[in-house]
Amino acid sequence: MLKKKMIRKIIISTSALFALFLIYLIPNEKLEINQNLEYVDLEVTTNSIYLLDDYNYLGKAEVVVNSKSTEDKVKELVEVLINGGEGENKIPNGFKSIIPSETKILSVKYENNLIKIDFSKDLLNINKELEEKMIEALVYTITSVDEVEKVIIYVEGDILTKLPQTNTTLPSTLDRNFGINKNYDFTNTKDINQVTIYYLNKHNDDYYYVPVTKYLNDNRDKIKIIIDELTSTNTYNTNLLSYLNSNTELLAIEEQPDILELTFNSYIFSDVDNKDILEEVVYTICLSIKDNYDVNEVVIKNENEEIYQAVLKEIK
């Protein structure tokens, strides 16, 4: 009897120790799982894309991209531009795609900062009013990928050199010099200056940037034209906005290798005492410079004091 009791005590004690051992192990396993979860990469990558807004302008939006290689990024972005395409669910409110439905991307090849993209012939089924904007959207969207500077568009193996509806001739190799949301404001064909200026527009409570390429008889430095346009109280279209104070003056320009230094009067500030500049002002200036100058940095000064520095490759 005593022996049985002893055996029973040993069994109970052993069971209790085993239970405690299991309890000890379980939290460690959970802790290990939680620690592993902390290192899951949750970083979301976005890229600029140019889509039609409610005013029929191409506006700059941001969409999530999952691809890593340059070719896959380009393909993923262009899919968003296709009506009813695979990327349609990525389109932000207030925007719509522009490439005709049923258009297929046949191939995308990248080399030496150049993208060659081949489409099915459905690309040519575009309205006359939108065909040039479609090319603008493609060029600006594709060249928004960091490594890409130029684009060649193919239709079923042949380079697209003429728009199907207007017969407008296209360069075989396209870049941002092609322009976007073009506005012609000149009286003669001599000394035409091409300048791309970024304005603001609004959908509900969301602001976005709209680039406009202006062609005008004005041989001044492009940055002077940019600032004059952004400070104008009458933009050529009332849908487009600028937050740059109309009394702002560009006092000096100094272009160094890779750097453009701009000195303004105090009206550049939204708050003179704290020397604050609105983000919208910085972005309209810097995005405009990025499309017109071959520099990497912009320095904004007031009375020879540096108040803001922007690296253009970080201005998306």
pLDDT digits (tens, 9 = 90+) for 258-286: 999 999 999 999 988 888 999 999 999 99
The two three-digit tokens of residue 117, written as one number: 């993209």
Output the pTM of the full model.
0.84
Q: How far is residue 174's CA from residue 172's CA, in Å, rounded to a whole number? A: 6
Task: Note the pLDDT tens digit of each residue in 155-188.
Answer: 999 999 999 899 999 999 999 999 999 999 888 8
Do residues 173 and 151 lie in contact, with contact meaning Cβ atoms separated by under 8 Å? yes
Each residue of 263-292: b (16+ CB within 10 Å) or e? bbeeebbeeeeeeebeebbbbbbbbbbbbb
Binned at pLDDT 50, 70 and 90, residue 31 comes out as very low
